[in-house]
Amino acid sequence: MLAAYPRHSVLEIKKKANMIRRLAINMAKNAGSKGAHIGPGLSIVEIVATLYFGVMNHNPENPRWPERDRFILSKGHGVLGFYPALALAGYFDVEELEKFDTDDSHLAGHPCKDIELGIEASTGSLGHGLSMGVGLALSARIDKLNFNVYVLTGDGECNEGAIWEAAMLANQKNLGNLVVIVDHNKMQADGLSNKIIDMRPLADKWSSFGWMVKEVDGHDCAQLLEVLHERHRTKSRPLCIIAHTIKGKGVSFFENDNIWHHNRNFTSEQAAMALAELEREAETIERL
């Protein structure tokens, strides 16, 4: 049974998720001919919003706080759903998002480590983020610090052998302060994930590696809050959350259309249509 979280908490996270999506659309529009990974960025929005505005212990005024929770975006191409959350959380001015992936910006097309900006790791080579997360979780134990590590991966990324090496070590070291969230949108760069390398049954694979496994609707903030807060109460083993998501979530003509995995032809007209749809969703959220 889901815990009865205060109604305002869930609504506030939903509002933040909508704001993240609107900022992401502007980032994608400004990227121009470089293009942007729209689909992979929009599928993770509720996950990232729930972590930063409902779960994680972090302090943008003291980004190097030793006991801060760590977040690693292992699927580094999903930055459209990550950088806006950092800005809204206070790590840098929202205006910085307008410089996304330009020569004078710290916000590259894949994350580059910058603790002051809230970016804990450089990622983009798929499969490496979980290994870094294992190292951070181990360091907490060695240094006797009380923080959690959250690693967000893609389901296509789970094709990488490094994921499973890290999974084995995390179980062997009994890293109860480690959570991996799989963005299970069923697609990757070249098509449907089950057509590239079929990872089904995905939950059974993680379970067989000794992890606790939970499955949730990755766009349901209440479900995400419940399973992530449960982690704070029970830390016996590493936890894998399989979050069922929709690639391109939030804009109807993006959803489940893999042409938007990385697109260099995002027009101003399309951006206006997407923003109008998201503004209507914002109005709906306000009425809840």
At 19-50, the pLDDT tens digits run 999 999 999 999 988 999 999 999 999 999 99
Domain presence at residue 1: no
User: What global pTM score does this model have?
Assistant: 0.96
Domain presence at residue 79: yes
Cβ partners under 8 Å of residue 288, min gap 6: 11, 14
100: domain CATH number? 3.40.50.970
Tokens 């109005």 correspond to what residue? Answer: 283
187 three-class SS: strand
Domain presence at residue 90: yes
184-234 pLDDT, tens digit per residue, is 999 999 999 999 999 999 999 999 999 999 999 999 999 999 999 987 667
**Distance between CA 111 and CA 158 in Å, rounded?**
19
Report the range of poorest mean pLDDT among 4-13, 100-109, 218-227.
4-13
Domain presence at residue 42: yes
Average pLDDT, the chain: 95
Residue-number span of the structural domain to which 84 is assigned: 7-287
Q: Is the pLDDT of residue 113 over 60?
A: yes
The dihedrals phi and psi of 212, each to the nearest 5 degrees, come to: -70, 140
Domain presence at residue 2: no
Q: Is the pLDDT of residue 142 over 80?
A: yes
- Average of pLDDT values for 55-79? 97
**Distance between CA 217 and CA 225 in Å, rounded?**
11
- Average of pLDDT values for 168-182? 97
- The tally of domains found in the chain comes to 1
What is the pairing mode between strands 149-154 and 70-73? parallel
Domain presence at residue 282: yes
Residue 232's pLDDT is what?
Answer: 67
Element (H, E) at 25: helix 7-31
240-276 pLDDT, tens digit per residue, is 999 999 999 999 999 999 999 999 999 999 999 999 9
Identity at 49, one-letter amino acid code: A
Residue 192, beta-bridge partner list:
187
